[in-house]
Amino acid sequence: MVSSKKRLGNYRKRSERTAFLFMLPSLSVLFIFVFIPLVSSFILGVFDVNIFLTNFNFVGLKHFQNIFADERVWNAFKNTFIFTFAEAGLQVSFGFLVACLISGNTFFQRAARSIYFIPVVCSMTSVGLIGMMILDPNIGSIPYLIASLGFDKPMMLKDPKTALFIIVLITVWKNFGQTMIILAAGLAGIGRNYYEAAQIDGASKLQQTRFITVPLIWPSLSFCFVTNLIGSFQVFDIAFVATKGGPLFSTETVVQLIYARGFSGDMNLGYASALAVVLLVVIVVFTMTLYGLLNRQERKMFG
Amino acid sequence: MYKNMKQMKTGTVVKYMFLLLICILVLFPFFWVVISSFKFERDIVTYPPTVFAKNYTLVNYRRILDYLPIFTYIKNTVIFAVGVGICNVIFDSMTGYAFARMNFRGKNILFTIILVTMMVPFQIIMTPIYMEVYALGMLDTYIGLILPKITSAYGIYMMRSFFTSLPKELEEAARIDGLSEIKIFYKIMLPLCRPATVTLFVFTLMGCWNDLLYPMMLTSKSEMRTLSAGVAMFVGQNVVEYGPSLAIAIVSMLPLLILFFFAQKYFVEGVAVTGLKD
């Protein structure tokens, strides 16, 4: 009895050691190249300091007070939230729909899978450049096409009312293939026998999706949504390339504002770091709440 | 029965029409870019816009070779992206496996911390990273470019998700047969995750290929520049002209697209054969 308990304890200790051995390379790199830089950034947030790290001046919480008084900050957060929820919601639901439709193995479905993935391969810089030209009201073919159908010619990225939404659409256009591939991999892992059994029981296609597909690929679905949300909160490239935050700050996001304040213009690295800390807190609170909810669901399903 | 068949057929037609429509939406911009890159500048900037022009030219492409050491850029990018991709597959699957399948103290809190690191915008940590790589004397070297990126929270999270959804019976059977944890991992669990590892490799490769700020920050010598950074510098100097910018955009995307069309066989196959069907 005693010896079996001891053996169990040994086994536990050994398995803990194996686990840490497995994680050692990743954990040390994350510690050195993410964690330490992050803490250094926090420290920079209470100083007045420029990008060249000269003139350190301790200013306490001054930057944080300025941030909450700055209307441009509130505007940037508003844009970021709109972008994030519109983008993540659209991309996951559209990606899921398409993944369901292309999960078969006909020639056309295989071809479609590859074609939809092409934009994912391209860089946001090139996509932004291409989008800018195609959507340009003066030389672009899409506004011209819409105008020749009898509508008012849309100003697209040049109109403060629509610019943010167009940015969302460009991002979904570029990225939905990624969500599609992850979900398609999950779908392929579902045994065909589940569907056969459901068909015998007379379940409709919609019921099969609702009661077999969704629960079984839940881990992949929640993975896609959470990572999309996190990625969208940090949106930078596309708005930077295609609109530079304009027109009238209608597409200026938080990371762009951080970049504008810290790495160009007045190069106030302290202010930028403080704003970065605020953004990080917002992202963590939102994602963790969501992750908790999704994870509880996952545990319910997988025990 | 007949009615049912007919309904099914209509459904299939609608489905394929929908998929075809998305294909057109995805492909049209590329089609336009490729054609426009062979046009003279005055034909690109016309109103009303046209897809085709009367005359075509190679001048946009010829100018790339005059201005950019594009082959050096491609070589650097391949070393950087492939190196990071291989390292990520190894280290992320090891860590993801530990989180999915092993029990140890502080597991949840550790995983939460890793998730949090994923939420850190790169712009926040880039200055300290630069200072660290500088202190290690690794600026303008391949190792300096690769080392900070050999693992990613995204990859760990992704691999954990895939390992979690594999059935537990498999490894239990192997454990009863007396296999060590490490052998269980690379003989049984890892092969089952081949689709996931290929996916992770391709994602990481693409991420590095298209990354702009990171390689731009860590390289200053022209012969160490990667494609995206080098191209961005060029486009930045020539914003007014659309033709050469389009040609360069195409050349910078082309190697990755070619690679994708080869890897896609693995990709599509991998997606179709996820090891555990029943």
On whether any CB of chain B is under 8 Å from the CB of A139, the answer is yes
For residue A12, pLDDT over 70 is answered with no
CB < 8 Å to A105, chain B:
272
When mean pLDDT is compared across A267-276, B4-13, B123-132, the lowest value belongs to B4-13
Domain boundaries, chain A: 1-33, 45-302
CA dist A232 and A91 (Å) reads 11
pTM of the model: 0.79
When mean pLDDT is compared across A3-17, A248-262, B17-31, B186-200, the lowest value belongs to A3-17
Instruction: Report, as an integer, the average pLDDT of B79-101.
Output: 94
Burial zone of A235 (CB within 10 Å; 0-12 exposed, 13-18 middle, 19+ buried): buried
Q: Cβ B119–A287 below 8 Å, yes or no?
A: yes
On whether any CB of chain B is under 8 Å from the CB of A197, the answer is no
Cα dihedral A80, A81, A83, A89 in deg (nearest 10):
150
pLDDT 10s digits, A84-119? 999 999 999 999 999 988 877 788 888 888 889 889
CB contact at 8 A, B119 and A283? yes
CA dist B173 and B184 (Å) reads 10
Instruction: Report, as an integer, the average pLDDT of B33-42.
Output: 88
- Which domains, ranges and CATH numbers included, belong to chain B? 61-272 (1.10.3720.10)
Name the residue with higher pLDDT: B265 or B197: B197
Close Cβ partners of B6 (under 8 Å, ≥ 6 residues apart): none
For residue B214, pLDDT over 70 is answered with yes
Q: How far is CA A303 from CA A190, A193, A221, A300, in A?
A: 18, 22, 17, 6
Q: How far does the CA of residue B46 sit from the closest CA of chain A (Å)?
A: 6
Question: According to the model, what pLDDT value does residue B1 have?
Answer: 44
CA dist B230 and B73 (Å) reads 7
pLDDT 10s digits, A256-271? 888 888 777 777 778 8
Q: Cβ B147–A33 below 8 Å, yes or no?
A: yes
This model of the complex carries an ipTM of 0.81
CA dist A293 and B151 (Å) reads 27
Q: Mutate which of A23, A106, A181 to disrupt the B interface (most B C-beta within 10 Å)?
A: A23
CA dist A72 and B268 (Å) reads 46
Pick the CATH number of A45-302 from 3.50.50.60, 3.30.70.20, 3.40.640.10, 1.10.3720.10: 1.10.3720.10
Question: According to the model, what pLDDT value does residue A104 have?
Answer: 74
Question: According to the model, what pLDDT value does residue A74 have?
Answer: 93
CB < 8 Å to A173, chain B:
25-26
CB contact at 8 A, B98 and B159? no
Q: Cβ A34–B212 below 8 Å, yes or no?
A: no
CA dist B29 and B25 (Å) reads 8
CA dist A261 and A273 (Å) reads 10
Angle at CA of residue A240, ends B125 and A275, nearest 5°: 40
Question: According to the model, what pLDDT value does residue A1 have?
Answer: 46
* CB contact residues (below 8 A), chain A span 142-171, against chain B: 144
pLDDT 10s digits, A270-291? 888 888 889 888 988 988 888 8
When mean pLDDT is compared across A41-55, A66-80, A195-209, B164-178, the lowest value belongs to A41-55
Instruction: Please name the residue of chain B whose CA is at the shortest distance from the CA of residue A51.
Output: B127
pLDDT 10s digits, A227-253? 898 888 888 878 877 777 778 888 888
When mean pLDDT is compared across A1-5, B45-49, B179-183, the lowest value belongs to A1-5
Q: Cβ B161–A258 below 8 Å, yes or no?
A: no
Q: Cβ B26–A118 below 8 Å, yes or no?
A: yes
Q: Cβ A125–B231 below 8 Å, yes or no?
A: yes
Q: Cβ A185–B270 below 8 Å, yes or no?
A: yes
For residue B28, pLDDT over 50 is answered with yes
Mean pLDDT, chain A, integer: 83
Instruction: Please name the residue of chain A whose CA is at the shortest distance from the CA of residue B248.
Output: A126
pLDDT 10s digits, A182-237? 888 788 777 778 888 888 888 888 888 888 888 888 888 888 888 898 888 888 87
For residue A139, pLDDT over 50 is answered with yes
Instruction: Report, as an integer, the average pLDDT of B37-50.
Output: 81
CB contact at 8 A, B118 and B153? yes
Instruction: Please name the residue of chain A whose CA is at the shortest distance from the CA of residue B21.
Output: A112
Q: Pick A121's closest partner by Cβ from B47, B181, B256.
A: B256
CB < 8 Å to B153, chain A:
30, 34
3-state secondary structure of B69: coil
Mean pLDDT, chain B, integer: 82
Question: According to the model, what pLDDT value does residue B88 have?
Answer: 96
Q: How far does the CA of residue A224 sit from the closest CA of chain B (Å)?
A: 9
Kindly state the percentage of chain A with pLDDT values over 90: 18
CB < 8 Å to A302, chain B:
164-165
Kindly state the percentage of chain A with pLDDT values over 70: 93
For residue A154, pLDDT over 90 is answered with no
